[in-house]
Each structure stands twice: as C-alpha cells, then as structure tokens.
Chain A
C-alpha cells in the first residue's frame, strides 16, 4: 500500500481575473513522501499549496485526499497543517499555548495536551521554552515553534511555504537537516514550497518543477538534475551549458559545428533540440586531444572548484574543475556521450509565425500593433508573418512596439533566448537578445521591420 496516492490533484486550474495562476496541474503525493514544489516566484507553487490547505478553491479540477474529493472542505476540517511563510505565530500567546492551540480547539484532554506539547517541543529542540513569549524568540526559534504547532496535531500532511526563507544561510542549512530528520522520525508527508534549488535537491524525495502555472517536470532529485525535461528545468536546477542543437538521428547530435555521439533516442531526424552539459561533467584536455578547443576567458575560485569560462568557436562554455587554468590558455573540451542530455525545445519551431493583415499600403497590423513594411500586397490581405528570433529587440517600453511578459530567459552560450507572452492575443514569441532581463516582468520589444517576411494567405473559396 506504500504507493497509494494520499493526495491527488487532478487538472487544477485557477485564474485571478485575467491572470492564469495555475493551468491544469496534475500531481499526486504518496504517504510519507517529501515532495517539493520548486520554481521561480510567480510560478504558482504557493497557490498550489494554498489549494491543498483549503485557503483557495480551484476554478476547475479536483483535489482528492485519500480518494475523497475535498474541494469544498474548509481548512479546519482537513487533515493537513501548514507552516506559514512568516510563521504566523499568535503574538498574544506564549510558546506552550501556541503549540497547544490546535489541540485545545479539538478538545483534547488537558493532561494529554501537556504531554504532547512537551514532547513536540523536545522534538524541535525547544525544551524549557514553554513560558517564553513568541515575540521574544529568534527567527530560528520562531520557525521551530511554527513547525511544532503544526506537527503536534499529527496531520497526515504538513504543508511548508518557504519556511526557511527568512533565515540566514547557516541556520537554513541546519534547519534543512532538522526538517528532514523530523519528517523521517514522525513519518509524516511533507509538501514543501521553495525557490531554492539546492534546498529542493538536498531534502526531497520528489521534486515538482513549476513555471508560469504549469508543471515542467516531476521526478527524483537525480532525475530532474540529470535528465531535465527542457531548457528551463536544466537552467533552473544547477549550473548548465545549454546550446541549440540538431538531432541528426538516434544517438547522434550536431552542435557547435561538429557531430557528437550521445545516448538519447526517439527524436525525429533533423529535429532542432536543446542540449545540456553540466559544467562538472566536462574535462579540460590538451587542445590537440579534443574535437573542441578554445580559450579560457575567466577563472574564478569557488572553494570546492574553479569556475571557468571557455570561449570555443563562438560558444561560451562554463566548466567546473578542481584545477584552475590561466586566462588565455588554449584548452580542449572533452565529455562523454553520456554527459550530453537532449531536450525538446520549449518553443515550437525556430522562428515566429504570426498572423497579420495589411490594413493600408505598406502598413501591417499584427498582435495589435501597426508596423511599416515594404510590400506590394494590397490592402485587406491576410498574411503570415515570419520573424527570425534575432529580428526582435528588447527596448525600453516607450520605444517598443509591444509590451510583453517575459516567461523565460536562457543563456544559450552565444545569446539569451527569451520566450515572451503577449496576453491580449494569447501568443508566445521567441527572440534572441544580449541583454539580461528579469524573468516574470513586463518588457518592451521592437520588431526589425525590414526583416519581416510576409506571405499572403491563400484565399479559401467559401463557395467551394
């Protein structure tokens, strides 16, 4: 029965007005599992947690707990407890009364309350703190009280919303170990929300990577690190070299001007793909011993290893090695077929294909903006507009053609690949830029009007 689904989210969607917060989330959690929802801010991870806790009702989809639908069950009737982001301890109560709160509400006999609270305070290492005021405790101690207050009710599932976010690094590391120990000791299912990939990797049994209200990948820490589903997951978890590539056939991929053997199969012939190679999997050799060679452009000592950048045939490689090289040194880059991981492209197609219309001579209307183009096409012609990713520029909003939402930005060794979303027309656009921009914000983009390729749509005869 270990693989039974304790909690099951089916097709969960939620919008606030125009904003789609969650888009068809499917996720199940097994008993005694440590599941982490991982993603950048605004990815919907906290909202997912609030849906499980009962503080938010999904627009669509079902929340099943032990097989029963609990969409409409209020929080106080659910067998889950939450550790809130800023602890939410009751300031008017002391440590004991905070921890005892849930038990008192549920009318547990006083003698049992006392025994359970004291035991739980011992578990979280706060023995002797019963009479202290919670406002007088340090951040780490408040954190422990919050955990004890939730756990003392013996919930089936404990929800933790970035519980270590407010602590400093050293304390955070200690609490990570502590939390994992408590979870093992009490045998409770943990659902943990964080944006810290290291925290997720070191604590979880299962990691759920989210972006823009959608689940990108579900897997063990090893899975999501070694076999990321797409460039976003590869980029978000750990350091990585992500490059554009073409899958020539099974186990053969072409990038950086050369063909390399790999171990992935099942892609179409000549399918454009993304590849990831982790910096620690790369070995530096003598230039003559390797297909790829380049020049070391930077070398930074990171404690455990050196982080080096090597410029090789126009691509910028990141390499981790315990041996540093001098800047300017010629080196060979070497890796095994196993180290190349092939991923489907997040954006379908290499170019943007957008519908537009010629609304006046040399004027194209597209995505709700008007562009000046050189064309012989008459007014009223519907056109397909093909735009290369490098024919779009990121500009300040007052000079832009369009204001768009930046969904993802991934460094591809030569440029940043940006995927942006235009809400009014519900379209995604891919572009290349040398600039770094903050993801999950609005940016302005401008089209290079001389590089738009227009093709008139074939007029479909209505009469047949």
Chain B
C-alpha cells in the first residue's frame, strides 16, 4: 500500500514537471494553427522552421555567443581562480564575496546596469549595442560560475603536487599543464558547460544589451510570441529540448565509466 503511494507521489512530481513540455511537443506536430485542438499529425512546422531566416540567424547568433562567451569566461575564470586560491585568507574571502554577488543579483538589474554602461561608454569606444556588447555581458555573468567551479578543485589539490612536478624538472608552465590542469579539469569542464547553457538560454540580460540589429534565439522567440502565435516556435522549442536531453544523456554516459575507476 505504502509503495503504491510512493510511486503515485513520484508520478505526480514528474507529471507536474514534464506535462508542459509534453504538451509543447505534442502540439509541435499539430496540423492546425489553433493551440486548443489537435487536428492531425504534421511535420510542416519543422520544415518551415528551417526556412525561417530570422530564426535560423538567431540560432546561429545564439550558438556563436554561447561558444565564444563560455570559452573566454572559462579561460579568464580559471586564471582568476588560480590567483584567488593563492591569496591570503582574508583577501580571498573578500574577493569570493565580490564574485558571488553577480550570481545572487537579480538578472534584470545586471541587464539594465550593463545596458546603461554600454550606452554611457558608447561615445568613447564607438561601441554600438550588438554582438560585442552581448558577448561582453555574457562573459561577465558566466565568469562567477567558472570561478565557483574551479576554485574548490584547486583547494582540494595537494600543493605539493605542483612542487613535485617542478622537482621532477617541469618549468612552472609545464607543471601547470601536466599536473595542475588534469586535477582541476572536472571543475573547468563543469564551469564551461554551465556557462554554455546559461549563455544559451539567457533572455533578460541579452534583451537589454543586444540592441535592434542583433538577436539571439530567446529574444527572437519572445518577440515572435508578442506578435502572433506561431507553431514554428513549438517545433523549435521541441528541438531545443531534445538537444539538451541528448547533451545530458551524453554527459552521464561519459561520466559513468570514469566514476567506476576513480
């Protein structure tokens, strides 16, 4: 009796979580444009989706920004973490608090303040709102996640590993590459993946910093829903959901054999 209750409860949880997505997926195959009734199966929205130049360009923009922002943020964040881990205790906790702040700060405030800053320095640097401003904004909000992922790995690592590498003939740079990097790699990888996903789905900050000429997918979808309901969005959302699902499965599959050994 209790086990049935347990299963029922679990089913309710999953229903609650996944019902909206299920509806979205089902209606992406709906013949009719009407969102209320299912009139028949079709793939035409998927076909037209790939012909929609606006969506395709936005998708491309999103991927470019996400890739560039997460790579740059990972490099900068890793270097910052290296510096922070070498600091004295008081200085380190001060810097860590500053690092945490943007994570807790409401996104809308980050977005507006960034926009104000970019408009303010527009004259000085001839910086139009567009790709560069979005990229800078994304790097900014990704950075803390990289630091927060890499720093614990650095702190866990035995300092004498680095010294042992020097002792065995490595220069400081090659000691870092051969010994420190493999130790902190899991942190760097998860920092990168978090940055990539956050950048991919960011709407608010991008909305304020992108201007009119440069749009990412979330911004495009938002402006499309404002004008008229387009089932292409259902199809696009379904594809994005599947992509994330595949990514997640791949990550888990990759992690498993490693976990067994380590």
In contact, A76 and B179 (Cβ under 8 angstroms): no
Q: Which residue of A lies closest to B160 (CB)?
A: A88
With an 8 A cutoff between CB atoms, is B171 at the interface? yes
In contact, A76 and B169 (Cβ under 8 angstroms): yes
What residues of A have a CB within 8 angstroms of the CB of B169 in the complex? 76, 102, 105-106, 153
With an 8 A cutoff between CB atoms, is B168 at the interface? yes
Q: In angstroms, how far is the closest chain B Cβ from the Cβ of A135?
A: 7
In contact, B164 and A105 (Cβ under 8 angstroms): no
What residues of B have a CB within 8 angstroms of the CB of A53 in the complex? 163, 167
In contact, B161 and A90 (Cβ under 8 angstroms): yes
A190→B79 CA distance, assembly (Å): 38
Interface-forming stretch among A78-86, A198-206, A233-241, A269-277? A78-86
What residues of B have a CB within 8 angstroms of the CB of A106 in the complex? 169
Q: Is the interface of B mostly helix, strand, loop or mixed?
A: helix
From 179 to 198 in chain B, residues with beta carbon under 8 angstroms from any chain A beta carbon are 179, 182-183
From 96 to 153 in chain A, residues with beta carbon under 8 angstroms from any chain B beta carbon are 101-102, 105-106, 133, 135, 149-150, 153
In contact, A90 and B179 (Cβ under 8 angstroms): yes
**Given contacts A91-B183, A135-B262, A105 and B160 within 8 Å (CB-CB):** no
A461→B56 CA distance, assembly (Å): 98
With an 8 A cutoff between CB atoms, is A368 at the interface? no
- Which of B158, B161, B163, B170 sits near A105, CB closer than 8 Å? B170
Q: Which residue of A lies closest to B157 (CB)?
A: A91
With an 8 A cutoff between CB atoms, is A255 at the interface? no
A81→B175 CA distance, assembly (Å): 15
Chain A interface residues (CB < 8 Å from chain B): 53-55, 74-76, 80-82, 84-86, 88-92, 101-102, 105-106, 133, 135, 149-150, 153
With an 8 A cutoff between CB atoms, is B48 at the interface? no
Sampled A-B contacts (21; CB under 8 Å): A53-B163, A75-B163, A75-B166, A76-B166, A81-B167, A81-B168, A82-B163, A82-B164, A84-B164, A85-B160, A86-B160, A88-B158, A90-B165, A90-B179, A90-B182, A92-B183, A101-B178, A102-B168, A105-B169, A105-B170, A153-B169
Given known contacts A74-B166, A101-B168, what 13 new A-B pairs fall within 8 Å (CB)? A53-B167, A55-B163, A81-B168, A82-B163, A84-B160, A88-B163, A88-B164, A90-B164, A90-B179, A91-B183, A102-B168, A105-B170, A105-B178
A-B contact count (CB 8 A): 60
What residues of B have a CB within 8 angstroms of the CB of A90 in the complex? 161, 164-165, 179, 182
A101→B166 CA distance, assembly (Å): 11
Question: Contact flags (1/0) for B33-68 with A, using CB distance below 8 Å?
Answer: 000000000000000000000000000000000000
Chain B interface residues (CB < 8 Å from chain A): 158, 160-161, 163-171, 174-175, 178-179, 182-183, 261-262
Q: In angstroms, how far is the closest chain A Cβ from the Cβ of B25?
A: 42
A30→B45 CA distance, assembly (Å): 84
Q: In angstroms, how far is the closest chain B Cβ from the Cβ of A31?
A: 20
In contact, B163 and A84 (Cβ under 8 angstroms): yes
Q: In angstroms, how far is the closest chain A Cβ from the Cβ of B35?
A: 53
In contact, B262 and A82 (Cβ under 8 angstroms): no
**Given contacts A86-B158, A88-B163, A91-B183, A149 and B261 within 8 Å (CB-CB):** no
Q: In angstroms, how far is the closest chain B Cβ from the Cβ of A184?
A: 23
Chain A CB count within 10 A is highest, among B160, B168, B179, for B168
Chain A CB count within 10 A is highest, among B164, B178, B183, B262, for B164
Q: Which residue of B lies closest to A133 (CB)?
A: B261
What residues of A have a CB within 8 angstroms of the CB of B174 in the complex? 105
What residues of A have a CB within 8 angstroms of the CB of B182 in the complex? 90, 92
- Which of B158, B160, B161, B168 sits near A149, CB closer than 8 Å? B168
What residues of B have a CB within 8 angstroms of the CB of A135 in the complex? 262
What residues of A have a CB within 8 angstroms of the CB of B179 in the complex? 90
What residues of B have a CB within 8 angstroms of the CB of A86 in the complex? 158, 160
What residues of A have a CB within 8 angstroms of the CB of B158 in the complex? 86, 88
In contact, B161 and A76 (Cβ under 8 angstroms): no
Q: In angstroms, how far is the closest chain B Cβ from the Cβ of A428?
A: 31
Q: In angstroms, how far is the closest chain B Cβ from the Cβ of A50?
A: 9
A102→B174 CA distance, assembly (Å): 12
**Given contacts A88-B158, A91-B183, A92-B182, A76 and B163 within 8 Å (CB-CB):** no
Q: In angstroms, how far is the closest chain A Cβ from the Cβ of B138?
A: 31
A88→B161 CA distance, assembly (Å): 5
A102→B178 CA distance, assembly (Å): 11
In contact, B167 and A76 (Cβ under 8 angstroms): yes
Q: In angstroms, how far is the closest chain A Cβ from the Cβ of B152?
A: 16
A27→B91 CA distance, assembly (Å): 38
What residues of B have a CB within 8 angstroms of the CB of A150 in the complex? 167-168
In contact, B167 and A75 (Cβ under 8 angstroms): yes
Q: In angstroms, how far is the closest chain A Cβ from the Cβ of B259?
A: 13
